């Protein structure tokens, strides 16, 4: 199984979530909120499952959101 990974908005370094799942499973929870303590900058980052990507795919789980 692949691991769900996010990126630090300040350092652009990967933040492993510790969540292992397949893309089909995670696509059912794209809007689910998640908060991760960043090992790079030390801050708590907030987002949704859709903001991450799977390590074996390298592609986002959902298309980028338009900023309104």
The answer for residues whose C-beta is within 8 angstroms of residue 45's C-beta and 6 or more apart is: 6, 8, 9, 15, 35, 36, 37, 38
Burial class of residue 66, CB neighbours in 10 A (0-12, 13-18, 19+) = exposed
SS (H, E, C) the chain: CEEEEEECCCCCCEEEEEEEECHHHHHCCCCCEEEEECCCCCCEEEEEHHHCEECCCCCECCCCCCCC
* Per-residue pLDDT tens over the stretch 29-67: 999 999 999 999 999 999 999 999 998 765 566 655 555
Which band of pLDDT confidence, cut at 50, 70 and 90, is reported for residue 68?
Answer: very low
pLDDT at 1: 80
């Amino acid at each position: 199984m692949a691991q769900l990974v996010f990126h630090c908005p300040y350092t652009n370094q990967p933040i492993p979530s510790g969540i292992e799942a397949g893309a089909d499973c995670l696509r059912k929870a794209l809007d689910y909120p998640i908060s991760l303590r960043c090992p790079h900058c030390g801050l708590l980052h907030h987002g949704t499952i859709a903001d991450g990507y799977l390590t074996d795919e390298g592609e986002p789980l959902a298309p980028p959101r338009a900023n309104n």
